[in-house]
Amino acid sequence: MGAAVGKGPRGYMAEINVTPFVDVMLVLLIIFMVTAPMLTQGVDVDLPKTRSVRTLPAGSDHLVLSIKKDGAIYLDEYNVPFEDLRNHLQNLVVSQNKQLYLRADKDVAYGVVVKVMGEIKSVGIEKLGIVAESADEQKPGDTAKASPKAPAS
């Protein structure tokens, strides 16, 4: 128990009961473990689906450039105007020798994606990863199956 008061030979108990402390810490650890993966998502983009997809590498040696449906450009989770994209790519990707991945919403116009890829190429980035979803994965609201696509030649 906590602090027991009595007239016996023991008097006050000077020990700390750590059981409630350990219980609270375990609950906080579980909450952290469940919510931490959700915090790394960044900008919400509805990705196109494809058959062969590898997972994005974990770590800080890469940056993700996202293009939302409305054409807004984000470098990781920070909004970057198109006019400043070249400077940000030079400072954050080229000078720090990081890998760049491009995530574009499936409804973004092809011209916008090509324009952004042209800026990436003009900075001197030769390796560019493209992020997509697996055709097998279905979002909770999706009812239609992805139609099979012919391989590109």
Residue 112's domain is classified under what CATH number? 3.30.420.270
Tokens representing 121? Answer: 């190429």
* Residue 121 within any structural domain of the chain: yes
* Residue 42 within any structural domain of the chain: no
User: What pLDDT does residue 144 have?
Assistant: 42
Determine the structural domain holding residue 122 and report its residue range: 49-134
101 bridge partner residues: 64, 129
- 7-65 pLDDT, tens digit each: 556 667 677 888 888 999 999 999 988 887 766 556 666 666 666 655 555 666 788 89
pTM > 0.75: yes or no: no
* Residue 96 within any structural domain of the chain: yes
* Residue 38 within any structural domain of the chain: no
pLDDT above 70 (res 137) = no
Pairing of strands 62-67, 73-75: antiparallel
* Residue 124 within any structural domain of the chain: yes
Q: What is the DSSP letter of 92?
A: I
Q: What is the Rg, in whole angstroms, of the alpha carbon atoms belonging to the chain?
A: 25
- 57-107 pLDDT, tens digit each: 566 678 889 999 888 999 888 888 999 889 988 888 888 888 888 888 888
Mean per-residue pLDDT for 132-151? 51
* Residue 150 within any structural domain of the chain: no
* Structural domains in the chain (count): 1
